[in-house]
């Protein structure tokens, strides 16, 4: 650890990212270009989020890193270990204890507070990329608030499938100005970006872009008046481990003949509920 | 300089990030800047912001009666380029400015363009006092309802800033520091209305 500066980066690298972050916060949903340094993990594996984290993290922070809701996946563990080795900060799996949460493709189930910062890793930050390949033309379209291509793409999905077919990364309108990719979070999480109490920072290392949502910013998922935005339905499904309902669940298939079962996607949340439940159970038993 | 540069700038930056993300929030930079001992005729917290922002990749402009000395020293310290007001990435408006200089700085600072609105200036203003009185009401992203505040400086700055930021997403960010190290930030998205 001593071979490196605090938080891995030299101070000039941090300064460049910090300047980009300030402009990103000042223009919600607008993609600010940044230099995107080489990192000890490959681009596309969370280098954008990692760079944002290293530019802002301090000695007193407590960090949580999750990957698709899991604290224990390879990506989450390696990023968390790297940050911890480069800074010596404390780490946690409990969302409420963390001052900075870095996440790949999920917003934690526990509501975030105004004292917390959520960093989302972004593979493709440009919501117009599917309809406009040129970076320069895409920037011009953003400048002119010309989003017909995105609307047409959603319209085509409805014509083809009867509904919008964005499994994740459903485009959003931020502060009534910029169409923004919310990163590949499930549609369930899109609503939770709107008016969120926490500051949300997005880092795309491969595409060299940073953008942000300040707290209490209006974030609307794109939808038509007669085809409202619909998130994944968890109706009637229960986590088999903690009994949670109405949260984002993973579906797993059992052996032939048996139906599917469900577990909370956010493993930290699920474990917290399980330990509360077992404490309660123990309390009830001792009360007998 | 008796300052732990790496960690002082980091904690000061997080306070600034919080101020900018939640306009109306005020933080004290005293723990980070009080120990700064540099021969520049500006507030110590302004110096901290200079160290936070400036390096050879960006340009700056200082407005104040002893600007030449300050510019020379800051260039040597940070390596940033001195630019004309209309081209500078960071504009520092010091306490010993001439009357009307703040309004001139707001009017002349660069705005970027619609393709690259992030290329606008950030204007750092030294003021008499930042307080939480309810002379101004702030609304916009980062503010749950409305946020009351009071910045004791040139009264016309509210109208000049509104005129400058009229075509969102074009606009400038304004940071205010006072002698007691209090920091306050207003991004371009914030609407300021005066309490009558």
Interface subset of B 52-91, CB within 8 angstroms of A: 52-53, 55, 57-58
**pLDDT tens per residue, range A79-131:** 999 999 999 999 999 999 999 999 999 999 999 999 999 999 999 999 999 99
A56 shares contact with chain B (CB less than 8 Å): yes
Residue A20 and residue A118 in one domain? yes
Closest approach of chain B CAs to the CA of A42, in angstroms? 26
How does strand B173-178 pair with strand B122-127? parallel
DSSP letter at B24 equals T
Residue A58 and residue A18 in one domain? yes
The pLDDT value recorded for residue A160 is 96
Is residue A154 situated within a structural domain?
Answer: no
A110 shares contact with chain B (CB less than 8 Å): no
The pLDDT value recorded for residue A91 is 97
Check if A163 is active-site: no
Q: Is A15–B52 a contact, with Cβ atoms under 8 angstroms apart?
A: yes
Closest approach of chain B CAs to the CA of A87, in angstroms? 11
pLDDT band at B145 (very low <50, low <70, confident <90, very high): confident
Higher pLDDT, B54 or B157: B54
Residue A51 and residue A122 in one domain? yes
Which is catalytic among the residues A242, A246, A257, A287? A242
Is residue B102 situated within a structural domain?
Answer: yes
Is residue B147 situated within a structural domain?
Answer: no
A22 lies in which domain range?
A: 11-126+173-220
How does strand A261-264 pair with strand A249-252? antiparallel
Check if A270 is active-site: yes
Residue A177 and residue A268 in one domain? no
For residue B141, list chain A residues with Cβ-Cβ distance below 8 A.
28, 175, 213-218
Those residues whose C-beta lies under 8 Å from the C-beta of residue A159, and which sit 6 or more positions away, are none
Is residue B144 situated within a structural domain?
Answer: no
Is residue B159 situated within a structural domain?
Answer: yes
Q: Where are the beta strands (DSSP E) in B29-128?
A: 59-63, 81-82, 90-93, 122-127
Is residue A113 situated within a structural domain?
Answer: yes
Residues above pLDDT 90, as percent of chain B: 78
Is residue A150 situated within a structural domain?
Answer: no
Residue A19 and residue A87 in one domain? yes
Size of interface A-B (CB pairs under 8 A): 105
Is residue B138 situated within a structural domain?
Answer: no
- The residue among A220, A242, A257 that closes a domain is A220
Residue A264 and residue A122 in one domain? no
Residue B31's H or E segment, with its range, is helix B30-33
Distance CA A107, CA A181 (A): 14
Number of domains chain B contains: 1
The pLDDT value recorded for residue B193 is 87
The pLDDT value recorded for residue A288 is 39
Residue A122 and residue A67 in one domain? yes
Is residue B195 situated within a structural domain?
Answer: no
Is residue A153 situated within a structural domain?
Answer: no
B121 lies in which domain range?
A: 5-131+152-190
Q: For tokens 């609407």, name the residue.
A: B191
Which is catalytic among the residues A236, A264, A268, A287? A264
Mean pLDDT of B110-129: 96
Residue A122 and residue A245 in one domain? no
Distance CA A50, CA A59 (A): 16
Q: Is A177–B169 a contact, with Cβ atoms under 8 angstroms apart?
A: yes
Residue A97 and residue A75 in one domain? yes
Closest approach of chain B CAs to the CA of A138, in angstroms? 9
Helix, strand, or coil here: B14? Answer: helix
DSSP letter at A227 equals B
Is residue A249 situated within a structural domain?
Answer: yes
The pLDDT value recorded for residue A269 is 96
For residue A57, list chain B residues with Cβ-Cβ distance below 8 A.
10
How does strand A199-204 pair with strand A117-121? parallel
Tens digit of pLDDT at every position of chain A (288 positions): 568 999 999 999 999 999 999 999 999 999 999 999 999 999 889 999 999 999 999 999 999 999 999 999 999 999 999 999 999 999 999 999 999 999 999 999 999 999 999 999 999 999 999 999 999 999 999 999 999 999 999 999 999 999 999 989 999 999 999 999 999 999 999 999 999 999 999 999 999 999 999 999 999 999 999 999 999 999 999 999 999 999 999 998 877 777 889 999 999 999 999 998 888 887 765 543
Looking at residue A104, which CATH number applies to its domain?
3.40.50.11310
Is residue A188 situated within a structural domain?
Answer: yes
Check if A268 is active-site: no
Closest approach of chain B CAs to the CA of A199, in angstroms? 7
Residue A197 and residue A111 in one domain? yes
Is residue A143 situated within a structural domain?
Answer: no
Q: Following CA atoms A203, A204, A205, A208 in sequence, which dihedral angle do they give, to the nearest 10 degrees?
A: -110
The pLDDT value recorded for residue A287 is 44
The pLDDT value recorded for residue A127 is 97
Check if A196 is active-site: no
B129 shares contact with chain A (CB less than 8 Å): no
Number of domains chain A contains: 2
**pLDDT tens per residue, range A189-214:** 999 999 999 999 999 999 999 999 99
Q: Is A216–B11 a contact, with Cβ atoms under 8 angstroms apart?
A: no
For residue A33, list chain B residues with Cβ-Cβ distance below 8 A.
118
Residue A246 and residue A186 in one domain? no
A12 shares contact with chain B (CB less than 8 Å): yes
By the 8 A CB rule, do B118 and B90 touch? no
Residue A207 and residue A70 in one domain? yes
Q: Give the least confident one: A76-85, A141-150, B122-131, B149-158.
A: B149-158
**pLDDT tens per residue, range B46-56:** 999 999 999 99
Query: The complex's ipTM?
Result: 0.96
Looking at residue B167, which CATH number applies to its domain?
3.40.50.11310
Helix, strand, or coil here: A7? Answer: coil
């Amino acid at each position: 650890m001593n071979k490196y500066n605090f938080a891995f980066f030299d101070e000039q690298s941090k300064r460049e990212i910090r300047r980009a972050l300030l402009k990103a916060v000042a223009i919600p949903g607008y993609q600010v270009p940044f230099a995107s340094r080489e990192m000890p993990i490959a681009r596309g594996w969370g280098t954008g989020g990692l760079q944002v984290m290293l530019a802002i993290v301090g000695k007193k922070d407590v960090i949580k890193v999750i990957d698709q809701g899991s604290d224990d996946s390879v990506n989450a563990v390696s990023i968390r270990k790297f940050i911890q080795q480069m800074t010596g900060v404390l780490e946690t799996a409990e969302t409420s204890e963390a001052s900075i949460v870095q996440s790949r493709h999920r917003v934690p189930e526990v509501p975030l507070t105004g004292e917390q910062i959520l960093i989302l890793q972004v593979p493709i930050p440009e919501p117009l990329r599917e309809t406009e390949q040129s970076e320069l033309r895409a920037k011009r379209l953003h400048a002119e608030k010309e989003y017909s291509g995105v609307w047409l793409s959603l319209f085509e999905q409805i014509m083809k499938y009867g509904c919008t077919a964005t499994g994740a990364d459903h485009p959003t309108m931020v502060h009534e100005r910029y169409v923004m990719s919310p990163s590949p979070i499930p549609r369930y999480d899109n609503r939770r970006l709107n008016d969120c109490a926490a500051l949300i920072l997005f880092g795309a290392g491969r595409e060299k872009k940073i953008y942000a949502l300040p707290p209490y910013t209006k974030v609307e998922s794109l939808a038509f008046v007669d085809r409202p935005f619909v998130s994944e339905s968890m109706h009637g499904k229960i986590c088999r481990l903690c009994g949670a309902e109405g949260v984002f669940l993973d579906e797993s298939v059992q052996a032939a003949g048996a139906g599917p079962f469900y577990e909370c996607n956010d493993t930290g949340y699920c474990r917290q509920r399980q330990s509360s439940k077992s404490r309660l159970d123990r309390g009830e038993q001792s009360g007998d | 300089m008796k300052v732990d540069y790496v960690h002082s700038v980091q904690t000061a930056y997080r306070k600034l990030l919080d101020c900018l993300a939640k306009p109306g929030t005020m933080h004290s930079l005293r723990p980070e800047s009080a120990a700064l001992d540099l021969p520049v005729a500006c507030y110590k917290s302004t110096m901290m912001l200079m160290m936070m922002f400036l390096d050879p990749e960006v340009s700056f402009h200082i407005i104040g009666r002893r600007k030449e000395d300050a510019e020379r020293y800051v260039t040597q310290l940070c390596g940033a380029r001195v630019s004309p007001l209309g081209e500078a990435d960071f504009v520092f408006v010091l306490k010993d400015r001439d009357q009307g200089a703040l309004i001139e700085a707001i009017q002349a600072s660069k705005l970027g363009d619609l393709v690259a609105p992030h290329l606008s200036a950030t204007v750092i203003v030294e003021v008499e006092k930042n307080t939480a009185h309810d002379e101004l009401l702030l609304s916009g992203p980062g503010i749950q309802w409305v946020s009351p505040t009071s910045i004791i400086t040139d009264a016309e700055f509210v109208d000049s800033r509104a005129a400058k930021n009229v075509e969102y997403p074009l606009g400038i960010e304004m940071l205010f520091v006072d002698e007691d190290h209090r920091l306050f930030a207003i991004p371009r998205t914030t609407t300021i209305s005066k309490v009558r």
